[in-house]
Structure 1
Amino acid sequence: MSKQVSTTALVTPDTTVDADTGPPDGGSRAWLVVLGGFFTYFVTFGLLNSFGTFQVYYGQKLMPHEDESAISWIGSIQLFLLYAGGLAFGPIFDTKGSKVLFIPGTILFALSLMLTSLCDKFYQFILAQSLLFGISDSMLFYPTISAIPHWFSSQRGLAMGTVLAGSSLGGIAWPLIIKRLLDEVGFPWTLRIAGFVSLILLAPATALVVPRLPPRKKSEKSNGLPKADLIAGLKDLRYWLTVAGMLFVIWGMFIPFGYIPLLAIERGVDSTFAVSLVSILNAGSFVGRIATGAMADKLGKFNMAVGCALISTTLLLSLHAINTKSTITAFTFLYGLTSGGLMTLQSACVAQITRNMQTIGFMIGVMMAVCSIGALTGTPISGRLNEMPLSGTAPAWVDFASAMMFAGTVFLAAARISVDSRLYRAV
């Protein structure tokens, strides 16, 4: 009971960080933050993870004159802005809280879907579905991912995994919903219905996702942030090895989300089932994000990150040997399982080596901004590679994605060793 009282006291404006006894690691208010984050990621990341469905539809119906690489820029710019927005929105969360981002972000997100419903030219999709969607998605992403470490410590992996599982569940549901709606009501009303559903789910999340610690006043710290802790964090070799690892992971990880349906069609799978592979991938990701988060709390977050990256690399290389509908389906589910775990562990690893949670938004934001390079270029590069004549047993994008994932594995292993060189430890 005394711990709960001290935790409640932390949310008063005049309380200093010195009174902080640490995250409550549970309780109804903490799990309500997780619930709000689950709703948020179901909508935002769920729709972003469903871009493979849009890519197939755009290429076949709306923009058949555009090549795959050009269409893939729509999804890549979404990802780039999601990650790059961390430079602005992470520090805003640290200094201003969540609502200043969540309320306008919710409005702009729904508006982006409504405006996309009116698009019929490539540049219009770039403006509405890439730029506006990506910026608003980022405004909702950073308050959510930064609030969880405020409320959880020993159960941080489970909490983060549960939140991110919302994006996987959204990635399962949205492709199926969108495919059905496209057939029943057409493209414009499909996007409008998605916009209305987004508003319904994001509205309660606005009230649920809040930081535990109050923002610092500018008079207390430089720009509202503890400057000494920021400098120490940015000088930490462990942090930059983690950032480099996640950059290469992101560079390769999202490529199959856009190109597995196309690869399946090329290998004789009917297009209807090929599109549903996006949902199967996200089903694996749903399981992986929760299970990996829970296991990471016991076995170590860095240990699990290295393991997930290595297995994901191996699975990508297996695309050289699989050609049947059943083996492609098995790959898709298993890849979702391991890559989903990486998304859970990305911010959890940074939180583990961040000494002051009042800088967590900034530290995660910088990492995500660096990762935006991979998010922006990975899929378009693969689009160009996919247009090359087949010279081996798999499209060239498979080798590119595998190489990036393996490089990420190496850097994450180096980060893990720099945190604790004793390999038997749960790190």
Structure 2
Amino acid sequence: MPSINNTLEPSSEAHAKTTTAKINYMTIDPTQNAIEKLYTQDKGYAWVIMLACFFNLAFSLGAVNAIGVFQTHYLKFMFSTVPAEIIAWISTTSMTMTLSCGIFSNMIASRIGIRNTAMLASMISSIGLLFASFSTKVWQLVLTQGVIFGFGSSILINISFSVPPQWFDTHKSFAMGLIASGGGFGALFLIPIITKMLEVSSFAWSIRVLLIVYALITGISSFLIKPRLPNTGTTLVFDYKILADPIIILLSLIGFFIEIGTSVAILYFPASIIDLGYNPTLATNLIMVFSVFSASSRLISGYVTKKINAVNILIFANLVTSIIFMALWYNSKSMGKSLAFYILFGVFGVPYFVLQPIIVSATYKYEQISIINGFIYLIMGFSLLISVPSIGKVFQTLGKRQDYNQIIIIATVCFSITTILSIFLKHSLLKKQKPSNSNKSQIDPVKL
């Protein structure tokens, strides 16, 4: 991956100061040559960065992916008399904050550095979990598990997606795929722990155990994170041109609708298994099955982009997902069909979450990645903010808290829309590639 040219013109000291003020925390210093030789891409400390970012996502996104366990506990036990649309605000706030606040990571890191920002984010999330363990009401969990934990996790996720592209070139697709799979593998580790604690102890102690594991792992991983290139930034300048970039707009819209469809499956599938007559333990254990296939799909999706067009993968995955919602889960009365849906959804419903950061890192310069990822995730968070309560209302009023067909139709429509948008995305990427064929820094790993 070629380096970014931020060399200042010597003609004017004032011009130099102005230019420097616009460089953010991932910008390359004019004296970076020696550092580039010391920290080469695809070697040495690059693998430490990959593992650190993997573990950060494993426990930040993993905790969010495991929220289905808590959602089932809230719906069926802890708040069984509370309307579903009210309960939904806990998961809504948690997922919204986790996705949408990453846009602030660039501003914070430009002042205190990437490592300090990551460690601060880990501490904030841990405080949120600590307060959540003492919460007994919906509004308290919205504030603690939702706002505080979600904010810290969002900063950590953004940094973990934005730093690795500096460290990888040849193996970037593999590294980003592995990092993105962290959420799935993390859920696989956290779900049995949370489930067991809910069975043998209490909700409070299930949160406290999560807190101990989260604080330990993300604290160590955050300490290991650092930029490959020196920090020369002093201020944050948001590039409003990204708001008019068709590629970013399309990626944001795809993420908007994918979040709606995905939230239906993640939040309501375990409860649907209980309504089929199976016990809650089996329902939550199936989330582990989903996590295995989800993590494997993310890892494989990232790797195969070196051979297969990333957007073609996205188009195919979204199309298949829109089909299986109606073919397998809609009106399902058997465990066989429902399980088949959940497994296939784990395979085809999640590639966007690894392909999106790969496409961004392959298409844009290093210093743009954090802001672009933050903006896309902000839109995805906004999607959850308006959709999850609405879906809960539909499930409460039309589904009478037992019929899932109405929300399944919503998910089907959303993934159908993403299929169409993905086709437009491919066209936009091809159009962007044409004038930049001579510049190999553009869209290199995403073969079009």
Decide: shared fold, TM above 0.5. Answer: yes
Gap regions ≥5 residues in structure 1: 4-9
Query: 2:314 matched to 1:298?
Result: no
Query: 2:352 matched to 1:342?
Result: yes
Mapped contact 2:42–2:169 kept (Cα < 8 A):
no
Q: Which amino acid aligns with 1:399?
A: I
- Separation in structure 1 between the aligned mates of residue 94 and residue 403 of structure 2, nearest angstrom: 31
Q: Residue 165 of structure 1: CA displacement?
A: 1.7
Q: Which residue of 1 aligns with 2:413?
A: 403
- Separation in structure 2 between the aligned mates of residue 410 and residue 323 of structure 1, nearest angstrom: 31
Q: Describe the SS at the equivalent of 1:240.
A: helix
- Separation in structure 1 between the aligned mates of residue 31 and residue 422 of structure 2, nearest angstrom: 37
Q: Which residue of 1 aligns with 2:281?
A: 272
Query: 2:268 matched to 1:252?
Result: no
1:94–1:315 CA distance, 2 compared to 1 (3 A): farther
Mapped contact 2:35–2:229 kept (Cα < 8 A):
no
Q: Residue 90 of structure 1: CA displacement?
A: 3.8
- Separation in structure 1 between the aligned mates of residue 240 and residue 146 of structure 2, nearest angstrom: 34
Q: Residue 126 of structure 1: CA displacement?
A: 1.1
Gap regions ≥5 residues in structure 2: 4-25, 434-445
Q: Residue 398 of structure 1: CA displacement?
A: 0.5
Q: Residue 284 of structure 1: CA displacement?
A: 1.1
Among candidates 364, 369, 378, match of residue 373 of structure 2: 364
Q: Describe the SS at the equivalent of 1:45.
A: helix
- Separation in structure 1 between the aligned mates of residue 334 and residue 40 of structure 2, nearest angstrom: 49
- Separation in structure 1 between the aligned mates of residue 176 and residue 233 of structure 2, nearest angstrom: 28
1:91–1:154 CA distance, 2 compared to 1 (3 A): farther
Q: Describe the SS at the equivalent of 2:305.
A: helix
Q: Which amino acid aligns with 1:256?
A: A
Query: 2:119 matched to 1:110?
Result: no
Q: Which amino acid aligns with 1:46?
A: G
Mapped contact 2:118–2:159 kept (Cα < 8 A):
yes
1:412–1:186 CA distance, 2 compared to 1 (3 A): same
Mapped contact 2:134–2:204 kept (Cα < 8 A):
yes
Mapped contact 1:296–1:303 kept (Cα < 8 A):
no
Q: Which residue of 2 aligns with 1:7?
A: none
Q: Which amino acid aligns with 2:50?
A: V
Output one character per residue of 1:347-377: Cα deviation in whole Å (capped at 9) or x when no partner.
11222221x2112101111111122121222
Mapped contact 2:357–2:373 kept (Cα < 8 A):
yes
Moved more, 379-388 or 72-81: 379-388
- Separation in structure 1 between the aligned mates of residue 359 and residue 213 of structure 2, nearest angstrom: 33
Q: Residue 157 of structure 1: CA displacement?
A: 2.5
Among candidates 199, 207, 224, match of residue 208 of structure 1: 224
- Separation in structure 2 between the aligned mates of residue 399 and residue 18 of structure 1, nearest angstrom: 57
- Separation in structure 2 between the aligned mates of residue 90 and residue 224 of structure 1, nearest angstrom: 7
Name the % identity: 20
Q: Which amino acid aligns with 1:136?
A: G
- Separation in structure 1 between the aligned mates of residue 211 and residue 47 of structure 2, nearest angstrom: 26
- Separation in structure 2 between the aligned mates of residue 62 and residue 268 of structure 1, nearest angstrom: 19
Q: Residue 213 of structure 1: CA displacement?
A: 2.5
1:371–1:17 CA distance, 2 compared to 1 (3 A): farther
Mapped contact 2:270–2:286 kept (Cα < 8 A):
yes
Q: Which amino acid aligns with 1:397?
A: I
Output one character per residue of 1:296-324: Cα deviation in whole Å (capped at 9) or x when no partner.
22212222222222222222222226431
- Separation in structure 1 between the aligned mates of residue 86 and residue 33 of structure 2, nearest angstrom: 49
Q: Describe the SS at the equivalent of 1:297.
A: coil
